[in-house]
Amino acid sequence: MADTQFTLDLNDDQKEVRDWVHGFAADVIRPAAAEWDEREETPWPIIQEAAKIGLYSLDFYAQQFFDPTGLGIPVTMEELFWGDAGIALSIVGTGLAAVGVLANGTEEQIGTWVPQMYGDVNDVKVAAFCSSEPDAGSDVAAMRTRAVHDEAKDEWVLSGTKTWATNGGIADVHVVVAVVDPELGSKGHASFIVPPGTPGLSQGQKFKKHGIRASHTAEVVLDDVRVPGHCLLGGKEKLDERLARARERAKGGERVKNAAMATFEASRPAVGAQAVGIARAAYEVALDYAQTRVQFGRPIIDNQGVAFQLADMRTRVDAARLLVWRASWMAAAGRKFESAEGSMSKLYAGETAKAVTAQAMQILGGNGYTREYPVERMHRDAAIYSVFEGTSEIQRLVIARSLSDVPIR
């Protein structure tokens, strides 16, 4: 892969995309944010509006994904989530399933399934990536969902329950991670496409969440779900080769990546960019409030106690963005994450979103605690960014392991 020089300057095309996405976030997403947060429903009308202008489409995300600088996706994510995290996650949630196919699928599978995940402007669809389970979140080795190959019919039979699935149950296409060789633990996993309308797949519990409430999160129940052999991402031959290597490496004590982790590694900087967008939005609200709120005869920003908080908030937002951009550029340039730079970006950006939104509420005082102002919602939305796609503790574990050969637990 060609090495692209790292730069902090966006080119003209990137600036145009940034401004275009920001305009949609400001004009369409942000005015609808409070309503859909209260409704706790998938904002289909907003997704369709995004589809009409080409924002919710395979072509747009492919263009950003293959941006040689790596900055197309993080720039897009930051602007969308600046608008509102719940609605934005409904718009981009399909991307995690798409990345699952891109990371593990063949060219034919990518060409067949990824377009179906989005549908078209007249009939928008969403997709779901199903990895976590009730007893297997951070501990992916505890996964119980099984995939058994029926050689006579060349079908895979999937059984188990997935949880915390964005778009789970309402998706047209589900990407499911399942155990194919229990003896290999997390190395014995594979990813499967479950096509629309497949018997045996159903939605379980829909979760009522603290934040990102416009994004649908639910359990997915797999009751002897049969999918054709060609729905195994990467194909049977590739799976057999990978399992054989895993068995050999396991004997030698080597670590082997699994299908779910390949997806999460590719998506962590993008998730970090989402958190940056939330943090930036809260900082901007707090800055505007501090400049216009008058107490004791002067704007409250004239007080060091407030001004210094804003200085810290802006510094953290910019530092988080730099970590996200570095990791995104490294991934696009084919640089290995020798020091877990992807996890660093997600960890710091997620913690920043929580800290900055909390500071914003403090600056707004009593107003910040009400739903009349958006920082209360932003603070609720930010909370998930130290939990999903790898908790902050897991990110620290990944980073710590990268610094030493010691298998820290």
Active site residues: 389
Q: Which segments within 71-198 are labelled E, that is strand?
A: 119-120, 123-124, 127-130, 146-150, 155-166, 173-179, 189-194
**Termini Cα distance of the chain:** 34
DSSP 136: B
Cα dihedral value 172, 342, 21, 353, nearest 10: 100
* Residues 276/352, Cβ–Cβ less than 8 Å: yes
* Contacts of 3 by beta carbon, 8 Å cutoff, 6+ apart: 333, 334
Residue 202's SS3 state is strand
Cα dihedral value 79, 83, 87, 92, nearest 10: 0
Angle between the 259-292 and 72-83 helix axes, to the nearest 10 degrees? 50
Gap between the Cα atoms of 234 and 337, Å rounded? 24
Residue type for position 303: N
Residue 184's SS3 state is helix
Gap between the Cα atoms of 117 and 297, Å rounded? 56
* Residues 29/87, Cβ–Cβ less than 8 Å: yes
CB atoms closer than 10 angstroms to residue 122: 8
Angle between the 304-332 and 259-292 helix axes, to the nearest 10 degrees? 150
Gap between the Cα atoms of 187 and 303, Å rounded? 56
* Residues 172/125, Cβ–Cβ less than 8 Å: yes
CB atoms closer than 10 angstroms to residue 361: 22
Tokens at 13, concatenated: 């095309």
Gap between the Cα atoms of 287 and 192, Å rounded? 47
Q: How many residues does the chain have?
A: 409
